[in-house]
């Protein structure tokens, strides 16, 4: 039976694509670089902001430190303009908390940005811990961050699940020997995620909650 559920943030709990798109293109414009289309951005998300910016420059040489600074400045002001919880997340997290399941977030977004986003949209209160790559010094799919977060939360691999919408989430979960749920409503399709062999795939957040609540899962 699952006692601890750890979630990815972007594409799993919160639809942040619109705000990220506006922010990224403004930063690229400042650097004299071509804009990125929305469908392209989908392929850049998941590995953290450094990977995102490298991919967004499409091989053009630029000052990546300055680009990251500009992106960060704009994102602090625009992270919450259109970002919102995916359907079923609010009620689903409430259900899990009421069932006594401990909830956490492990994202490849910097911890400060993750806290800011969740506070701004009123979603921070569900989680006992929200951590980013700067928290533990590594990005998913490296499982070390997940293992460290589990230790802080007093979680056992046998009763923990990692829920995410990207290969990085599934691989981190597998590396930490925990059950994994790949959600397909986010930024990756079932075909893309299936090759990483998650324990279960869910088409909605409510479906993922049902899996977590199933006493035979885990």
Enzyme catalytic residues: 8, 10
What are the angstrom distances between the C-alpha of 203 and each of 88, 160, 183, 186? 11, 20, 6, 9
What is the SS3 string spanning 44-88? HCCCCHHHHHHHHCCCCCCCHHHHHHHHHHHHHHHCCCCCEECCC
* Number of residues that this document lists for the chain: 218
Nearest by Cα to 166 from 107, 90, 104: 107
**Which residues fall within 8 angstroms of residue 95, CB to CB, at 6 or more apart?**
209, 213
């Amino acid at each position: 039976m699952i006692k601890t559920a750890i979630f990815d943030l972007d594409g799993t709990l919160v639809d942040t694509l619109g705000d990220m798109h506006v922010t990224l293109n403004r930063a690229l414009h400042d650097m004299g670089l071509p804009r990125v289309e929305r469908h392209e951005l989908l392929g850049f998300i998941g590995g953290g902001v450094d990977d995102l910016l490298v991919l967004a420059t499409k091989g053009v040489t630029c000052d990546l430190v300055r680009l990251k600074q500009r992106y960060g400045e704009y994102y602090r002001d625009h992270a919450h303009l259109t970002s919102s919880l995916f359907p079923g997340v609010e009620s689903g997290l409430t259900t899990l908390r009421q069932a006594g399941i401990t909830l956490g977030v492990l994202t490849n977004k910097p911890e400060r940005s993750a806290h800011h986003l969740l506070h701004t949209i009123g979603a921070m209160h569900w989680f006992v811990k929200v951590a980013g790559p700067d928290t533990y010094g590594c990005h998913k799919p490296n499982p070390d961050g997940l293992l460290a977060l589990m230790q802080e939360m007093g979680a056992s691999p046998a009763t923990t699940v990692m829920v995410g919408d990207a290969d990085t989430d599934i691989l981190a979960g597998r590396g930490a020997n925990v059950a994994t749920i790949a959600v397909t409503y986010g930024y990756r399709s079932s075909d893309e995620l299936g090759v990483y062999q998650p324990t279960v795939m869910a088409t909605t957040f409510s479906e993922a909650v049902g899996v977590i609540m199933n006493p035979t899962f885990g």
